Structure 1
Amino acid sequence: MESSGKIVMGRYELGRLLGKGAFGKVHYAKNLQSNQGVAIKMMDKEKVLKVGLSEQVRREITTMRLVEHKSIVQLHEVMATRSKIYFVMEYMKGGELFEKVAKGGKLTEGVAHKYFQQLISAVDYCHSRGVYHRDLKPENLLLDENENLKVSDFGLSALSESKRQDGLLHTACGSPAYVAPEVICKGGYDGAKSDIWSCGVILFVLVAGYLPFQGLNLMEMYRKIEKGEFRCPGWVSQKLQKLLYKIMDPDPSKRISIQKIKESTWFRKGPGDTLTVKEPSENITTNAAPALGVRRKKNNQEDQKQLVVTNLNAFEIISLSTGFDLSGLFVEKENRKEARFTSEKPASAIVSKLEDVAKALNLRVRKKDNGVVKMQGRKEGRNGVLQFDSEIFEITPSYHVIKMKQTSGDSLEYQKLLDEGIRPALKEIVWAWHGDGDQQVHQA
């Protein structure tokens, strides 16, 4: 639809052309409801079907819905007409990392270090979800307005279920200059290890300004890749050279793992001697302290009197009831990050138990003025530091609802903490868990 010379597609107003490929093009667009800028990839259905890429498109949609990470381009939604398929994605103002290297040449080790940490964080996260990208290269690494790297284009990705009985992948794919030697050999290969190789080639290109494996023709380049024949330029630090040779080891069984990469000196410290560790937030205490979801005064003798929990009216009680919870209409079940339980214990007993659990699970506690307390992990996880809010609601003086909601970090790590740590530890005070498909009732 056209309005005042502008093309409007549903709630999106189409803007300038960002790029063009063999099967479609990418436009900048604006969400008319939120005013948010997005990128819309338009693909011609007939061309996709003609060259047999329909399975690849389905795979990309499935994969991008599985991965939600700060260093991965997000897929907002997919639309389709009789002739077109539209991918509405996060808009990356900084463009391709490839363009940055092509125009400016090699990057400093400091800048390359920042991008490589973000790349490894994203790839590690994908592997934890059983997703293997298989086409990692600078053209598929985009930069946002703050020059942060995000991985895109999962069209050639594979899932764990794609493995054959030998536990390996067998489809040879990827870009020749970045593909691992075991993929070239057309035998079975480990998707995680082949992705690690590609990350090494990318890192080399960032600091050298050229490809590590070159030849007069493709066969000569492949021969060098199979033998791992490359030489680091003299300006690359010894620590980084050591890491590059471990990443681009042609023997996948000897190739360094992502965990070992993250433990390496260069990855942790970068080109200088300063550790790249995030400073803790100002309000985080070193010991698990005040109660979850309640307000407490410092005077321990008056604790029970000073507890202030949220009283619920009838409408709020209904909204917390599983039968009236409508969030499932808008959010897929596996992506829900909220858990609720009821307790017949007094608020003071709930608070005491929650404090014990925080200490036992080595969690930091940060108190907020509105009676909500954030519990936070002490280490960086696959998707940042795990954090969740907890709040106690009073139905009657002897009956409470406690709501826990993840606010940041990795959802699988949160679910594991909830299932293996929090639920068992709270068993004595929980009457029933709610909203997770199967209510778990405990008779105190």
Structure 2
Amino acid sequence: MVSSEDPNIKVAEKRIVLENRSIHFVNKEFSIHKQLSEISHDNVIKMFEMRQCPSFYYFVLEYAENGDVFDRIIPGSGMKFSVAQKYFKQLIAGLKFINANHLIHRDIKPENLLITKNDVIKICDFGSATIFRRNGKELMLKSFGGTEEFIAPEVWGGVLHRGPPLDVWSAGITLINMMTGLMPWKRADEGSIDYRRWIRRESLSEKPWNKVDKLTQDFLQRILTSDVENRLTIAEIESHCWMNQRII
């Protein structure tokens, strides 16, 4: 018996997997998710097993009854700031656990944050996840992963980049989306006028940034910076005053 409640099931069609020669990625996702599930964390969805039949692969996951964060976001409005803060804190706790196990998620977004009946966030979908540290040495990455609107700008440059800052960036985009119901840009590269104006700090009086207070703006500027070396780390996010202020 897998669970006392109906599990979530993630399905991958074998035909598509084999045609795209992506069985390696299915096995990699299984291996990563299995590693995290054996240790377990409250804010990371647990995987019980992977099954297969003639046509499909099935990932049998912990049950999260209340859908995902995406469905809680009202377009153009978002959600109560206090709820967004609560979810963001849980997201950061989950990312801290994932990074501590030398892994990065690379596809953080509201759709990949499931919600339990107790309003606990569960990070799910490790299809883009990868190792960023091996034998005590941090690995530089060049491979692509994630969802366009949430991908950090250094990825688009096609150069080697660090792993953990990618998840921090995606978490920042997720936060502004939760708080405002808006996306700041389609893609964080020089081709985006909205992104360029944000980097130059020319857009704070415009949507979505003008829908949040000054402290939140400052917090997001330190997360959503193209300067990777100065982008907040998970530890710095945890200690930032925004995380402890009482938001209504």
Q: TM bucket by the smaller chain?
A: 0.7 to 0.9
Kindly state the Cα deviation for residue 224 of structure 1 after the two structures are TM-superposed.
2.0
Q: 1:219 to 1:46 in 2, by over 3 A?
A: farther
Sort the Cα spacing of 1:214 and 1:81 in 2 relative to 1 into closer, same or farther, 3 A. Answer: closer
CA distance in 2 between counterparts of 1:266 and 1:94 reads 27
Q: Does 1:241 align with 2:210?
A: no
SS, match of residue 179 in structure 2: helix
**Could you tell me the TM-score, scaled by structure 2's length?**
0.86
1:190 to 2:162 alignment: yes
Aligned residues: 239
1:51 paired residue among 4, 8, 20 = 20
Higher-helix-fraction structure: 2
Residues of 2 paired with 1:213 and 1:126: CA distance? 27
2:247 is equivalent to residue 271 of structure 1: yes
Letter in 2 for 1:58: N
Deviation string, structure 1 residues 169-222 (Cα, Å, up to 9, x no partner): 11022111110000111111111011101100000111111011248xx97338
Q: Which residue of 2 aligns with 1:60?
A: 29
Query: How far apart in 2 are the matches of 1:262 and 1:112?
Result: 15
Displacement after TM superposition at 1:227 (Å): 6.7
- Alignment of 1:114 with 2:77, yes or no, is no
AA aligned to 2:191 is: E
Aligned to 2:236, what secondary structure does the other structure show?
helix
Could you say which residue in structure 2 is the equivalent of 1:308? Answer: none
Tell me which residue corresponds to 1:138: 110
Shift of 1:244: 0.5
Cα gap change, 1:120 to 1:270, in 2 (>3 Å) = farther
Q: Which residue of 114, 122, 130 maps to 1:150?
A: 122
Distance 1:147 1:111, change over 3 A: same
What do the CA deviations read for 1:103-151 (whole angstroms, capped 9, x no partner)?
6831122111100000000001100000111111111111111222111
Distance 2:48 2:238 in 1: 30
| Greater gyration radius | 1
Give distance in 2, aligned partners of 1:59 and 1:161: 16
Q: Which sits farther off after the overlay, 130-139 or 81-90? A: 81-90
SS at match of 1:253: helix
| Residues 1:201 and 2:201 are matched in the alignment | no
Contact 2:67 2:114 in 1 (8 A): yes
> Is the 2:168–2:223 Cα contact (8 Å) retained in structure 1?
yes
1:103/1:246 CA distance change after superposition, 3 Å: closer
8 A Cα contact 1:143 1:150, kept in partner: yes
Higher relative contact order (CA 8 A, sep 6+): 2
Please tell me whether the aligned partners of residues 109 and 270 of structure 1 are also in contact (alpha carbons under 8 angstroms): no
Q: Which of structure 1's runs of 4+ aligned residues deviate more than 4 A?
A: none
Aligned to 1:85: 57
Counterparts of 2:99 and 2:154 in 1: how far apart (Å)?
A: 18
Equivalent position of 2:185 in the other structure: 213
3-state SS, counterpart of residue 128 of structure 2 = coil
Q: Distance in 1 between matches of 2:128 and 2:13?
A: 18
In structure 2, C-alpha distance between the alignment counterparts of 1:137 and 1:63, rounded to whole Å: 19
Indicate whether 1:228 and 2:204 are aligned.
Answer: no
Listed as ranges, the gaps of 5+ residues in structure 1 are 1-10, 12-30, 273-444
Unaligned runs of 5+ in 2: none
| 2: CA distance, partners of 1:45 / 1:270 | 48
Q: What is the rounded CA distance, in whole Å, between the counterparts of 1:237 and 1:92 in structure 2?
A: 32
Post-superposition CA distance 1:223-272 (Å, at most 9, x none):
82697365353331221111000000111011111111111111123426
Structure-2 change in CA distance of 1:208 and 1:223 (3 Å): closer
Q: Which residue is equivalent to 1:311?
A: none
Q: Match for residue 94 of structure 1?
A: 66
How much does 1:55 deviate?
1.4
Q: Distance in 2 between matches of 1:258 and 1:166?
A: 16
User: Higher strand proportion, which one?
Assistant: 1
